[in-house]
Amino acid sequence: MKLTPAQARSIVKMLDFKDGLVVAVACDFKTKDILMVAFQNKEAVLKTLTAGVVHYWSRSRNKLWMKGEESGHIQKLKSVRVDCDGDALLLDVEQVGAACHDGYRSCFYRKVKRDKLGHVMKKKFNPKEVYR
């Protein structure tokens, strides 16, 4: 999915950025599995909508980043849904590779089991081999 810059600006005007950000939930467009949750500022939303590849805002690094810019594990945008308040986006994506920087397909690779967290997925890659 790609919009023109004018179309993307029109959508951004309809969103409610709390402290400059909206919540962005990445969902596999086929399986509907939740892959990750992150934040987007206006620039990240505009770039995502016009490039067709998902961009996020890193609060810890205070910068814009494209998903997969280091790993090659990009997210191709298929569609966007907006919640009723306009402050959260559900991004239907085609995930290339794994979504999680820990090496798993999804960031939600652990499940609560009594008083512990148990792994419910196997790693797709070794992060030490992919990230600097």
pLDDT band at 100 (very low <50, low <70, confident <90, very high): very high
At 45, list the tokens.
Answer: 């939303």
The structural domain count of the chain equals: 1
Quick check: is 108 in a domain? no
Asked, for residue 110, whether it belongs to a domain, the answer is no
Predicted model pTM: 0.93
On whether residue 11 sits in a domain, the answer given is: yes
Q: What is the pLDDT of residue 11?
A: 98
Averaged pLDDT, 51-68: 97
CATH number at residue 17: 3.10.20.810
CB-count burial class (<10 Å; 0-12, 13-18, 19+) for 64: middle
pLDDT digits (tens, 9 = 90+) for 4-22: 999 999 999 999 999 999 9
Q: How far apart are CA 25 and CA 38, in angstroms?
A: 7
**Is there a domain that residue 113 lies in?**
no
Q: Where are the beta strands (DSSP E) in the chain?
A: 22-28, 34-40, 55-58, 63-66, 75-82, 88-95, 110-113, 116-119
Q: Is the pLDDT of residue 47 over 80?
A: yes
The domain in which residue 24 lies consists of: 5-99
**Each residue's pLDDT tens digit, 69-96:** 999 999 999 999 999 999 999 999 999 9
| 119 within a domain of the structure (yes/no) | no
In a domain? residue 49: yes
**114 belongs to a structural domain:** no
Q: Kindly state whether residue 127 falls inside one of the protein's structural domains.
A: no
pLDDT for the residue 132: 75
Q: 3-class SS at 16? A: coil
Q: H or E element: which one contains 129?
A: helix 127-130
Among the listed residues 47, 50, 45, 51, the one whose alpha carbon sits nearest the alpha carbon of residue 4: 50
Q: What are phi and psi of 62, to 5 degrees?
A: 55, 50
Residue 55 confidence (pLDDT): 98
